[in-house]
Amino acid sequence: MWNLETERVYNYICNSKAKKVILQAPEGLKRSVDLEISKLRQKFIEYNTKPEEIPKMIIWGESCFGACDLCDREVSLLNPDLIVHYGHEELSYVKSEIPVIYVHAYYNVDEDFKKNMEKLQKELNNPTIVSTVQFKKCLEEYDPNIILGCRAVITNWKNDESILYVGTGRFHPLMMAYKFKKTVKIYNPLSQEVSEITESEIKKMIKIRIGKITKLMLNPPKKVGIVLSTKKGQCRAKVFEKMIELCEENKIEYTPIVLNNISPSNLIYKVDAYVICACPRIVLDDYSNYDKTLVTAREFEMYVKEDFEYIFDEVMEHDFL
């Protein structure tokens, strides 16, 4: 299903003369990467590498939310020579302390995929196509917009009334629908299902977010937690500093909190709300898991400025120091 580029990875390991390699992958690829270790070892055996000279290959077992979540700092204790990062595209604002090779894990296209894409092209009248890097190759003829990180950017509009997201999950199409306030069709090549996020659904969700901001206005927080993640692609330090400045300018008491994984079990402080300066997905996907009100940095600005024009919070390159 996914092309993990065994030959390319093998050649890269050989050329870099790496003796210890960390393999990092998102949850959906971890088992495939486990099998990949056996394939890579077999490659070394086929080329008559002495057993003691075969590089040590170790899977990073923790969660991996994207290229924003590179594990170089954590694994540096093991002194690895290389990280093989599967399933994502390199982010310009994520700099590694250890050499990294990015393996996009391209989807191996089949006939059903081709037929479904042709059908959707006709039904949606040549839609603007958005996808993630795994589907980049199989969508080449459609000139897709590839999402990098938590950013809703479309540079190649074909039909501004019709957006088709090709991929798995709902966060990325939801992000598009939030930002552009348009219906987004979703085609999942793995399940072969076609669904959509409608304008009415988006209006409902924006209403929920506006409701969270209104709640703060009706019952102003005495104290807020300003939260930053140390994950390299989520460590939006400039946004963090800006939120602190907003609190100070508006005489709002605050507790600055820095941690790696943001979860309900970690946010245990006596505050009335948390301002999340990391990935907006934490707020938009998981807000119902938290006892306290969660808002994005953009939403907190809206609250302070009493501005009800909803703005989607995106991770931008200029957010980082």
Number of domains in the chain: 3
pTM of this prediction exceeds 0.85: yes
315 and 211 both lie in a single domain: yes
Q: Is 277:53 a contact under the CB 8 Å cutoff?
A: no
Among 164, 172, 178, 191, smallest CA distance to 88 is for 172
CATH of the domain at 48: 3.40.50.11840
Give the pLDDT score at 68: 96
Give the pLDDT score at 145: 96
Give the pLDDT score at 120: 97
Given 145, 167, 197, which residue is the final one in a domain? Answer: 197
Give the pLDDT score at 149: 83
257 and 291 both lie in a single domain: yes
80 and 122 both lie in a single domain: no
- CA-CA distance, 203 to 208, in Å (whole number)? 9
Angle at 4 between CA 133 and CA 130, to 5 degrees: 15
213 and 173 both lie in a single domain: no
Residue range 160-182, pLDDT digits in tens? 889 999 999 888 998 899 888 88
Q: Beta partners for 226?
A: 256, 275
Given 76, 105, 134, which residue is the final one in a domain? Answer: 105
Q: Is 171:26 a contact under the CB 8 Å cutoff?
A: no
What the block records as the tokens of 182 is 């348009």
167 and 265 both lie in a single domain: no
Given 197, 220, 245, which residue is the final one in a domain? Answer: 197
- CA-CA distance, 70 to 22, in Å (whole number)? 11
Q: Is 164:129 a contact under the CB 8 Å cutoff?
A: yes
Give the pLDDT score at 65: 94
Tell me which residue range forms the domain holding 223: 206-319
Give the pLDDT score at 108: 94
Residue range 11-29, pLDDT digits in tens? 999 999 999 999 999 999 9
Q: Which residues of the chain have pLDDT under 70?
A: none
CATH of the domain at 147: 3.40.50.11850
213 and 291 both lie in a single domain: yes
258 and 315 both lie in a single domain: yes
How many other C-beta atoms lie within 10 A of the C-beta of residue 122?
A: 8
- CA-CA distance, 111 to 119, in Å (whole number)? 12
Give the pLDDT score at 152: 83
Give the pLDDT score at 156: 87
- CA-CA distance, 113 to 109, in Å (whole number)? 6
CATH of the domain at 301: 3.40.50.11860
Give the pLDDT score at 181: 85
Give the pLDDT score at 308: 86
Give the pLDDT score at 160: 80
